[in-house]
Amino acid sequence: AQSVTQLGSHVSVSEGALVLLRCNYSSSVPPYLFWYVQYPNQGLQLLLKYTSAATLVKGINGFEAEFKKSETSFHLTKPSAHMSDAAEYFCAVSEGPGEGNKLVFGAGTILRVKS
């Protein structure tokens, strides 16, 4: 079965600093990978997705993620943090076809941005 591990339940950065949120996955099939963001008291919004087209994926709000098969990783980065980036971020992997297109989510990382 697929699984996702997000390293660090809380990450704190200064405004303008690099954001790095870590995600490692396990999958028995070529994975489809996702990063979602959740702002306080809201639902989840898709940031970006990897669907095997390109290993470096660009998303909304200046975020990007790189798929590294050898490391089974899909880390999320942003060169310069903004106060509005404070939120909880979830990495997810698809269960693949024939499994109801289900997603398996990591436990989440709360990003705090200090002024």
Partner 1 sequence: NAGVTQTPKFRILKIGQSMTLQCTQDMNHNYMYWYRQDPGMGLKLIYYSVGAGITDKGEVPNGYNVSRSTTEDFPLRLELAAPSQTSVYFCASSSGHLYEQYFGPGTRLTVT
Could you list the residues that contact partner 1 (CB under 8 A)? 9, 32, 34, 36, 41-46, 49, 51, 90, 94, 100-103, 105-108
Q: Which C-beta is closer to partner 1: that of 7 or that of 44?
A: 44
Rounded to a whole number of angstroms, the minimum distance from the CB of residue 54 to partner 1 is 14
The CA distances from residue 66 to 4, 82, 111, in Å, are: 15, 21, 19
Burial class (CB in 10 A: 0-12, 13-18, 19+), 89: buried
At residue 27, φ and ψ (nearest 5 deg) are -155, 140
- The residue (of 16 and 30) whose beta carbon lies closer to partner 1 is 30
Cβ nearer to partner 1, comparing 77 with 105: 105
Closer residue to partner 1 (CB): 10 or 18? 10
CB of 107 to partner 1, least distance (A): 4
Q: What is the 3-state secondary structure (H, E, C) of 23-69?
A: EEEECCCCCCEEEEEECCCCCEEEEEEECCCCCEEECHHHCEEEEEC
**Please, what is the minimum distance in Å from the beta carbon of residue 82 to partner 1?**
23
Min dist. Cβ of residue 69 to partner 1 (A): 18
